[in-house]
Chain A
């Protein structure tokens, strides 16, 4: 087996990367519990978690052989692409279902572009999305 990098220096670099990554994951999870509303929690759930995943998998990639490390790059790439997609979808669903608190938005440019009934309740159109 030929790891990507061997020796004490590679071990230390890998350990530091994994510790910082785990700290980032922990901070994101604390934010998920402590932050007051959905849009704020969305920040805590995407950015620190993605950074933590990238750092930990980077630390992992140093300790496995090259072919495996390439697959890890794929996992990281996939996470970096999909986290904003999920974040956008959840924010959109929150806005349209009324879960977004009014005072959480400083600027609301979407307000004038949606049918009026989505913000005041009532019978929604059947194909609303």
Chain B
């Protein structure tokens, strides 16, 4: 079972690295917002893997909180930050 968790964590880590690459490359602010939201979801996934490995339910409210805050942040950015930027 430990090998399964290692494989899952490596896959999630590679996914997060790819999302961070898109976050750095852009090219528009909206691409970065999308990439950042993916990073937040992958954080929730990684914390879920932690919970499963240690069978410790005390961290589950953390998952809900991170998902909530990530959604509010991405939405505010998509709604407000982009308004200053014109692409053509």
Q: Which residues of B contact A94 (CB under 8 A)?
A: 28, 30
Q: In the complex the two chains form, is A33's CB within 8 Å of B18's CB? A: yes
Provided the pairs A25-B11, A90-B33, A93-B79 are in contact, do residues A75 and B38 lie with their beta carbons within 8 angstroms?
no
Q: In the complex the two chains form, is B30's CB within 8 Å of A60's CB? A: no
Interface of B is mostly: helix
Provided the pairs A18-B4, A121-B86, A129-B83 are in contact, do residues A25 and B45 lie with their beta carbons within 8 angstroms?
yes
Size category of the binding interface on chain B: 35 or more
Q: In the complex the two chains form, is B71's CB within 8 Å of A29's CB? A: no
Q: In the complex the two chains form, is B75's CB within 8 Å of A89's CB? A: yes
Provided the pairs A60-B51, A94-B30 are in contact, do residues A26 and B41 lie with their beta carbons within 8 angstroms?
no
Q: In the complex the two chains form, is A67's CB within 8 Å of B41's CB? A: no
Q: In the complex the two chains form, is B71's CB within 8 Å of A86's CB? A: yes
Size category of the binding interface on chain A: 35 or more
Q: A68 to B88: give the CA distance in the assembly, Å.
A: 49
Least CB distance from B59 to A in Å reads 9
Q: In the complex the two chains form, is B14's CB within 8 Å of A75's CB? A: no
Q: Contact partner of A98 among B49, B68, B88, CB < 8 A?
A: B88
Q: A66 to B74: give the CA distance in the assembly, Å.
A: 31
Most chain A beta-carbon neighbours within 10 Å: one of B11, B12, B37, B88: B11
Q: Which residues of A contact B16 (CB under 8 A)?
A: 29
Q: In the complex the two chains form, is A90's CB within 8 Å of B78's CB? A: yes
Q: In the complex the two chains form, is B74's CB within 8 Å of A32's CB? A: no
Q: A65 to B28: give the CA distance in the assembly, Å.
A: 44
Q: In the complex the two chains form, is B18's CB within 8 Å of A99's CB? A: no
* Closest A residue, CB atoms, query B51: A60
Q: Which residues of A contact B55 (CB under 8 A)?
A: 1, 3, 63-64
Q: In the complex the two chains form, is A41's CB within 8 Å of B22's CB? A: yes
